[in-house]
Amino acid sequence: MGVTFFEQQARAHRSTSYLVALFALAVAGVVLAVNLVVPLAFYLLTRGLVVPSPQTYALLTLITLAVIGLRTLVGVVQMRGGGDAVARLAGGVRVERGTRDADERRLLNVVDEMAIASGVAVPHVYLLRGERGINAFAAGYSPHEAVLAVTEGATRTLTRDELQAVVAHEFSHILNGDMRLSVQMIGVLAGILFIGEIGNVLLRSRASDDRRAGGAVGLVGGALLVIGYAGLFFGRLIKAAISRQREFLADAASVQFTRNADGMAGALATISAEPGGSLVANRRAETLSHMFFANGVSLWFGSLFATHPPLLERIARIDRRFDPIAYLTRRRPRAAEPPEPDRTLAPPVRAGAMRTGAPLGAPAATSLADSSAATESRTARVATVLGSVGRVTPAHVQYASAVLENLPAAVNDALADGDGAAALLLALALSDDELARKQQLALLEADGADALARRADVLANQLRGLAVETRLPIVALAGPSLRRLDPDARQALSRRLQAVVDADDRITLEEAVLLTLARRHLAPAAGRNVPVRFRSIREVRDDARLVLSLLAHAGAGDTAAAFARGAAVLELGDDTRALPRDAMEFAKIGDAFERLVMLAPFVKGRLLEACVETIIADATVSVVETETLRSVAAALDCPVPPLL
């Protein structure tokens, strides 16, 4: 099965410690350079009149550490904004979902497909306008709060297969936890590069009425610039040490996701043939060089400091028989490709109407893996679900494409802006019962949301015939627009959604799923770094009990037996009874997930294993159970693809 999602996440967390160790060595190197160069500069400037004393070296060390520490702290704080902050740093412009540009629409469709296929929230997509090089990067702290930035050169030059391969490569970084480390690296490395920036400023401002003073400033500035190159040396060395092997793994994952080696190898071959290659002109390219799909900056001693392996070596790792020259000779011109279908013109789909590998409108209770033998062991079933976390297959991509092609036009139109996405979320919560729906709409109108209520009512009619499995993709697609709402609007929407759900004084499991996912997008801290705070399930046993109770009630079998099976995995001790349904208030569920998401990776894996054991306790799995499981996994930052 290879390395699991949870092992990848654990490795990413361990790499953070590795980064800290390398940073400490780099700081020591910069301090040593300062203590050598600055006293020497003053000694030469004063013609030997000033001889450095031990106190001078101690003071220089303290000042250097303070400057590096302060700049590093500022860099880390700047990166608290997550992927959006990084994309803006690179000069990215957000691609609007309602764009009429054919290339931008094609990019959004490819990203949407990969997000639905992998079970993560659809990332914000940024375009690096004016960048002719072919490149891209993913940034963020968790799979459900990521952004994807692509150069204009990539969108205008690559074929759809090549673009899909590049996007799949970046999704591999999202799923494997690489991008979290990459964002942290930006803040950490800012400190050791800052002294060189100071030197550059001093050199530019060295003009002075006092020629001697101006010379002194220039000499100190030059010394600091030399030291800055020492910082750049260590910074690039750290990036190369951490990044290069991850690129090989992401290339392999891209091929696995798409089952199209020519797409990945072809994208790399196209980069090698383009005049601009993969170079990025933005002045922040050096800062972000470790995050790009391919080398974004020119390097001296490239083989030593390159953050990415050579293009030909990457192609050979993908397919040794691939001939770049032959591929480029027969490559279909970008302009000859058929235009991307306009999703806003897609016809509506009714429950059970979509077929792709497995029926979307599945029966109320189906086998966990229809293609498996009836005698498949319970252990194998659990392993199948856990092994699917963070793993995408071509069947998942095909499924996602079918979902997108069959969404009603009104839904696609609503996804294009924040107000429409808000109405769509409320429409998903509206009851099918006309009397109950009128009561829910009256609550919205009483809260001053008349227009929102009317639009939600219209959308609810469009959603009524959709299969149950389309609810999660719709919420995922609404994510980017929801996250663009200002904090007050998000808080108001969260309150209104809660009021609509609570209108009948009870919360269904479907509503719990919806509210759980909505909370991920509407939370004030969406996109922020979530630290690991709990390393044992016993630290959050009450929260785990609540989640297992939620899943136990989702099934049609024996609730007590289902809960007991999941509780046994977690060894909850005396807590072997499921909470009653009326005790599972959404506020408690939301608070539980806020704590559970801070579990260590392997402990999350154990919790998810308990969740799977709970839903398969009766040997059958309903659509509601699978969707509830996937929403629980999403809340834990463990993306589970569609269970085909």
Using the predicted structure, report yes or no on whether residue 449 has a pLDDT greater than 50. yes
Strands (E), 40-174: 93-94, 124-128, 136-139, 147-151
Q: How far apart are the C-alpha atoms of 174 and 138, rounded to whole Å?
A: 7
The predicted-structure confidence for 485-510, as pLDDT tens digits, reads as follows 888 898 899 889 888 888 876 666 66
Q: What is the mean pLDDT of the chain?
A: 79
Helix (H, G, I), strand (E, B) or coil at 358: strand
Residue of 421, 498, 427, 510 lying closest to 461 (CA atoms): 427
> Residue 262 corresponds to which amino acid?
D
Cβ proximity of 146 and 123 under 8 Å: yes
Single pTM value for the model: 0.81
The predicted-structure confidence for 125-173, as pLDDT tens digits, reads as follows 999 999 999 999 999 888 878 899 999 999 999 999 999 999 999 998 8
Residue 357: per-residue pLDDT: 32
Degrees (nearest 5) of the Cα angle 641, 3, 617?
Answer: 50
Using the predicted structure, report yes or no on whether residue 634 has a pLDDT greater than 70. yes
Cβ proximity of 584 and 592 under 8 Å: no
Q: How far apart are the C-alpha atoms of 76 and 98, rounded to whole Å?
A: 33
Work out the percent of the chain whose per-residue pLDDT is above 90.
Answer: 20
pLDDT band at 526 (very low <50, low <70, confident <90, very high): low
Residues 573-600 have a mean pLDDT of: 78
Active site residues: 170
Strands 355-356 and 147-151, sheet pairing: unpaired
Cβ proximity of 60 and 35 under 8 Å: yes
Residue 491: CA count within 13 A, CB half-sphere: 5
Residue 204: per-residue pLDDT: 56
Residue 209: per-residue pLDDT: 43
More confident residue, 41 or 417: 417
The predicted-structure confidence for 375-416, as pLDDT tens digits, reads as follows 355 566 677 777 777 778 888 899 899 889 888 888 989 998
Q: What is the DSSP string of 258-301?
A: HS-HHHHHHHHHHHHHSTTTT---STTHHHHGGGSSS--S--TT
Q: Which residues make Cβ contacts (< 8 Å) with residue 381, sequence separation at least 6?
A: 368, 369, 372, 612, 616
pLDDT band at 265 (very low <50, low <70, confident <90, very high): very high
Residue 8: per-residue pLDDT: 61
